[in-house]
Amino acid sequence: MFRYAVRRCVGMLPTLFVIVTLAFFVIRLAPGGPFDEEQTLPPEVKANLEAAYGLDRPLHEQYLRYVAGLLRGDFGPSFRMRDVGVSELIARGLPVSLTLGVSALLLALLVGIPLGVLAALRERSITDHGVTLLSSLAIALPAFVSGPLLALVFGLYLDVLPVAGWESGQPRYLVLPVVTLALPMIAYVARLTRGSLIEVMRASFVRTARAKGIPESQVIRRHALRPALLPVVSYLGPAAAFAVTGSLVVETVFGLPGTGRYLVQGAINRDYTLVMGMIVVYGSLTLLCNLLADLIYGWLDPRVRYE
C-alpha cells in the first residue's frame, strides 16, 4: 500500500502540471493586468513596473520562467503586495485555512455519520424525516447566509462566541466558521450514510449475522457500518474541494486571515502569481484528499486491490 501511495503521488505531478499550465493561460485571457487601476499610472511608470516583473516579455517566456521558479519551490513575488513573496503569504495563511477545513471535515464526519445511522435505523420515523428536512435546509443555505445568521444568534443575541476575527491560540474564534463550513457537509454525510446503511441492512450478510444471534447493535457496528461508509469515503474528495471553495466565503464572512481571501483578492487585482500560487496549493490539496479517500476505501473493503 505504501508503494501504491508513492506511485499515486508521483502520478499527481503531470496532473498538477496541466492545472498550472491551464490556469496560467486562462488568467491571462481575462482583460486587464495587475497595474491597471481606476487611476491610470503614467505610462512610463507602468512600463517600468511591467519590466521589473517581466511582464513585458512574450507570454511563453513568462510561462517558462514561472514554471522554472515553481520547480525551485518559488511561487514568485506578489504583484500587488509589495515586498512580500507568494510563498510567504501562503505560509502565513495556510495554517489558518487548513485548521478551518480539516476541523470542518472532521465535524462533518463526527456529526453526519451518527445522524445518518440514526435516521437509517428509524427509517420513516419522525427522527428520519427530521434529519432529511434539516439536511435539505443545510444543503440549500449558502455560507454567506448561514454564517451571518449564526454570528447573529451566537455572537450578538447569546453573546457566547466572537462574531468574527482571529487570535491565534484561541479556538473560540474558529467555532462559528467551522460550523458554518461544516453544515452542508454534515448534511451530505448524513444523507449518504442513511441511504447506504438502509441498503446494507437489507443485505444477505446482515441476515446471516442476525441468524447467528448477534445482537442488533453489534450487527450494525461490526457488519453493516463499514460497507455503509464506502459512499461517505468517496465523498471525501469532493468534500475537500468544497471545504476549499467554502473557505473563501467563510473566511471573508468571519474575517479570518486564511488563504481563501488571497484567491479572491488576487483574482480581482489580477495578481497573477498570487492566484497561481493559490491554485497550485488548492489543486495539490484536492489531489491529496482523493488519494486519502482511495486509501481509506481499501481499508474499509478488503476486496479493493492496489495495483
Partner 1 sequence: MLEIADLEVAFETRMGHVKVVSDFSLSVARGECVGIVGESGAGKTQALLAVMGLLPRGARVSGSARLQGEELLGRGAGALDEFRGARIAMIFQDPLTALTPHMRVGDQIAEVLVRHRRLSWSAGRERALELLRAVHIADAERRLRQYPHELSGGMRQRVMIAMALACEPDVLIADEPTTALDVTVQAQILALLAELKRTRGMSLVLVTHDLGVIAGLADRVAVMYAGRLVEQGTARAVLKAPRHPYTRALLDSMPRLDVPSSEPLRAIRGQPPDPRALPAGCAFHPRCDLAADLCRSARPRLRPTGDGMVACHRPLGAAAGEEGPTS
Return residues touching partner 1 (CB under 8 A).
Answer: 202-205, 207-216, 222-223, 226-227, 300-303
Q: Which of 233, 90, 237, 108 is closest to 181 using CA atoms?
A: 108
Residue with cell 508503494: 3
Q: Residue 281: is it exposed, middle or buried by C-beta count within 10 angstroms (0-12/13-18/19+)? A: buried
**Helix, strand, or coil (residue 77):** strand
Nearer to partner 1, 65 or 222 (CB): 222
Q: How far is the CB of 293 from partner 1 (least distance, A)?
A: 17
Nearer to partner 1, 201 or 280 (CB): 201
Nearer to partner 1, 86 or 206 (CB): 206
Q: How far is the CB of 116 from partner 1 (least distance, A)?
A: 19
Q: How far is the CB of 300 from partner 1 (least distance, A)?
A: 7
Q: How far is the CB of 275 from partner 1 (least distance, A)?
A: 44
DSSP string, 210-225: HHTT--HHHIIIIIIH
Nearer to partner 1, 82 or 303 (CB): 303
Residues forming beta bridges with residue 77, ordered by sequence position: 85
Nearer to partner 1, 104 or 224 (CB): 224
Angle in degrees, CA 287, 288, 289, rounded to 5: 90
Q: Which of 243, 245, 233 is closest to 292 using CA atoms?
A: 233
Nearer to partner 1, 118 or 151 (CB): 118
Q: How far is the CB of 302 from partner 1 (least distance, A)?
A: 5
Nearer to partner 1, 136 or 218 (CB): 218
Q: How far is the CB of 115 from partner 1 (least distance, A)?
A: 21
**Helix, strand, or coil (residue 297):** helix
Q: Are 19 and 279 in contact (CB under 8 A)?
A: yes
Report which residue type is found at 132. Answer: T
Which residues fall within 8 angstroms of residue 274, CB to CB, at 6 or more apart?
Answer: 78, 79, 80, 81, 86, 89, 262, 263, 265, 266
Q: How far is the CB of 225 from partner 1 (least distance, A)?
A: 10
